[in-house]
């Protein structure tokens, strides 16, 4: 097939993404589910070649930006407060699942080497950051639960990939050292943090000197990939390096990025992440044909693997329940604070249910060397786990939350509400305007500005103890602003259409009107 064919195929995938997104909204499915099914159906279209997905390429293209986007919007205070719980899921649950899957599979198929059994356990053990984000962003959860699940999804890939690496090496060499594994895991983690922090510090120092918006957006986005590539090359965790960099950028972006760069960067990331997430699940669906053909050409049929696949599926799902309930139970037993803060078995159930697998599981399975015993079984189990967890758990998690009557809760610490925040902001603005409105002789130079900011400050101060700003006053004010913006835009277009102003002036003045409109719409609510 020519390169032009593959380019046309990518265009077809992008069109399919739009159609599948619309279908998902109509059927009220998580988009990941529609895209996974759509990819599987596309894979069997007559005339299309079987897709051989390069697992290393999939990880390096898709994983870093998606991890970075999740880390960028992580609330650091909440992440730090629940770090122990996050690590118990990201490390403890992955280790436990790997162990239980390995033991269960070896008990059923003793001929399969122990290292192969644990390799399969490592492949299917980590819930996927992309799958979790695609599902969790569309459900309402208690705040603590959301922080735990999002934090877990950022870190658990590193645990699963390290376990997978050790298992594969043990299979190929016949050598395994527990002390060496622990030491290397510590180095991978600490090295990843240091690498990500170094990139974060470099960008923090550099970005403020880039005054061009496009360069600023590019210079902040590229290190997400570079961290991952460099980390994997020098032998530390690229996943942890990328997450560390993303969290640092998210924390400091208010200081080092201009308002325009933030607005345009947000639009850039929103579109890119949407396309990347959608393509990931379509690629997972497309890989079904390759798995199907590979199994069909083997010595055993898919039916011959049914017992092992069913066992792995059950163990993967049940082991997460066992771990989560055991950890939550022990926390409630030994800590009065944990018991009072816990949402009980309902939150534990939802945490256990939110264990969707995705691209990391698929890439790890595809990367298993051909000479490894049980490779076909690993591929089939990996795809089955992805299908069942995304299609079954992903589509039903919203229903589970409603049945258990879990509701989104407020933040765990007390924050200023919108009126209080506006009162503080406009008080600071009025103080500056009041100082600068007079010249050195004390003569008023900017009466209109002083009047405008004085009115806004007094209005906000009047309502700072309300739950929210009065809709009638706020909407009436900003409706006038929006009407003025619309009239200005209409006149601007008339001048341009009649040939009285140049395109450059049109774009410059339209940008100012757009900013006014965005601010007014946001403030009006």
Digit-coded pLDDT (tens) for 407-441: 766 555 556 666 666 677 778 877 888 888 888 88
Share of the chain above pLDDT 70, in %: 88
Of residues 480 and 285, more confidently modeled: 285
Helix, coil or strand: residue 37: helix
The per-residue pLDDT for 22 is 93
Q: What is the pLDDT of residue 343?
A: 58
Instruction: Tell me what pLDDT residue 283 has.
Output: 84
Task: Look at residue 339 in the predicted model and tell me its pLDDT.
Answer: 41
Question: Other CB atoms closer than 10 Å to residue 307's CB: what's the count?
Answer: 11
Let me know: does 420 contact 161? Beta carbons within 8 Å: no
DSSP string, 248-302: HHHHHHHHHS-HHHHHHHHHHHHHHHHHHHHHHHHHHHHHHHHHHHHHHTSSS-T
Q: Which residues pair with 438 in a beta bridge?
A: 444
Asked if residue 470 has pLDDT above 70, the reply is no
Distance CA 421, CA 335 (A): 36
Q: Which residue has the higher pLDDT, 487 or 109?
A: 109
pLDDT at 187 over 80: yes
CA 174, 180, 186 angle in degrees (round to 5)? 135
pLDDT score recorded for residue 472: 65
The per-residue pLDDT for 313 is: 95
Task: Please tell me the CATH code under which domain 18-403 is placed.
Answer: 1.20.1530.20
450 vs 212: which has the higher pLDDT: 212
- Whose CA is closest to 140, among 407, 411, 412? 407
- Residue-wise pLDDT tens digits, 142-151: 778 888 888 8
Averaged pLDDT for residues 61-88: 87
What confidence score (pLDDT) does residue 422 get? 63
94-108 and 143-173 are packed helices; what angle lies between their axes, rounded to 10 degrees? 50
Give residue 226's pLDDT: 96
Statement: residue 57 has pLDDT above 80:
yes
> Using 50, 70 and 90 to split pLDDT, how confident is the model at 185?
confident
User: pTM here?
Assistant: 0.79
How far apart CA 97 and CA 499 sit, in angstroms, is 69
Mean pLDDT (the chain, rounded):
83
State residue 222's pLDDT score: 94
Domain ranges of the chain: 18-403, 418-466, 470-525
Q: Output the pLDDT for position 503.
A: 76
> Which of 45-59, 382-396, 488-502 reaches the highest mean pLDDT?
382-396
Q: What is the structure's pLDDT at 487?
A: 83
Tokens of residue 245, six digits: 């960099």
What is 24-64 written as a DSSP string? Answer: HHHHT--HHHHHHHHHHHHHTSTTPPPP---HHHHHHHHHH
């Amino acid at each position: 097939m020519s390169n032009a064919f593959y380019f046309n195929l990518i265009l077809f995938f992008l069109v399919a993404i739009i159609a599948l997104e619309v279908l998902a909204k109509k059927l009220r499915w998580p988009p990941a589910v529609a895209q996974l099914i759509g990819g599987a159906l596309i894979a069997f279209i007559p005339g299309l070649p079987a897709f051989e997905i390069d697992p290393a390429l999939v990880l390096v293209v898709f994983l870093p930006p998606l991890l970075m986007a999740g880390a960028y919007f992580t609330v650091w205070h909440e992440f730090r407060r629940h770090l122990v719980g996050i690590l118990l899921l990201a490390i403890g649950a992955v280790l436990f699942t790997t162990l239980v899957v390995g033991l269960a599979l070896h008990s059923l198929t003793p001929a399969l080497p122990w290292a192969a059994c644990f390799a399969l356990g490592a492949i299917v053990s980590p819930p996927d950051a992309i799958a979790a984000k695609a599902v969790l962003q569309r459900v309402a959860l208690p705040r603590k639960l959301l922080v735990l699940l999002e934090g877990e999804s950022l870190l658990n890939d590193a645990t699963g990939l390290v376990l997978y690496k050790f298992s594969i090496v043990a299979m190929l060499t016949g050598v395994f050292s527990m002390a060496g594994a622990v030491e290397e895991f510590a180095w991978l983690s600490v090295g990843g943090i240091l690498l990500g922090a170094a990139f974060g510090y470099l960008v923090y120092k550099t970005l403020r000197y880039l005054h061009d918006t496009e360069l600023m957006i590019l210079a902040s986005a590229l290190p997400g990939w570079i961290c991952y590539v460099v980390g994997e090359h020098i032998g530390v965790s690229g996943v942890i390096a990328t997450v560390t960099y993303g969290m640092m950028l998210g924390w400091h972006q208010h200081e080092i990025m201009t308002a325009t760069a933030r607005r345009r960067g947000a639009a850039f990331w929103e579109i890119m992440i949407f396309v990347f997430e959608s393509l990931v699940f379509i690629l997972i669906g497309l890989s079904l044909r390759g798995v199907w053909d590979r199994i069909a050409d083997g010595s055993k049929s898919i039916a011959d693997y049914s017992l092992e696949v069913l066992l792995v599926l059950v163990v993967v799902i049940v082991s997460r329940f066992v771990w989560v309930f055991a950890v939550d139970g022990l926390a409630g037993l030994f800590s009065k604070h944990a018991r009072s803060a816990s949402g009980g078995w309902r939150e534990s159930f939802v945490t256990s249910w939110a264990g969707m697998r995705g691209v990391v599981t698929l890439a790890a399975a595809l990367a298993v060397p051909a000479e490894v015993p049980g490779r076909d079984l690993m591929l089939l189990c990996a795809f089955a786990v992805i299908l069942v967890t995304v299609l079954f758990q992903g589509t039903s998690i919203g229903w589970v939350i409603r049945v258990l009557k879990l509701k989104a809760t407020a933040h765990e610490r007390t924050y200023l509400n919108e009126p209080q925040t506006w009162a503080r902001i406009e008080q600071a603005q009025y103080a500056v305007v009041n100082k600068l409105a007079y010249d050195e002789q004390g003569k008023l130079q900017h009466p209109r500005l002083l009047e405008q900011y004085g009115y806004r400050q007094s209005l906000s101060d009047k309502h700072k103890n309300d739950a929210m700003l009065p809709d009638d006053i706020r909407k009436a004010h900003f409706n006038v602003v929006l009407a003025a913006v619309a009239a200005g835009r209409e006149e601007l277009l008339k001048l341009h259409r009649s040939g009285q102003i140049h395109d450059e002036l049109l774009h410059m003045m339209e940008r100012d009107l757009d900013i006014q409109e965005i601010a007014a719409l946001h403030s009006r609510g």
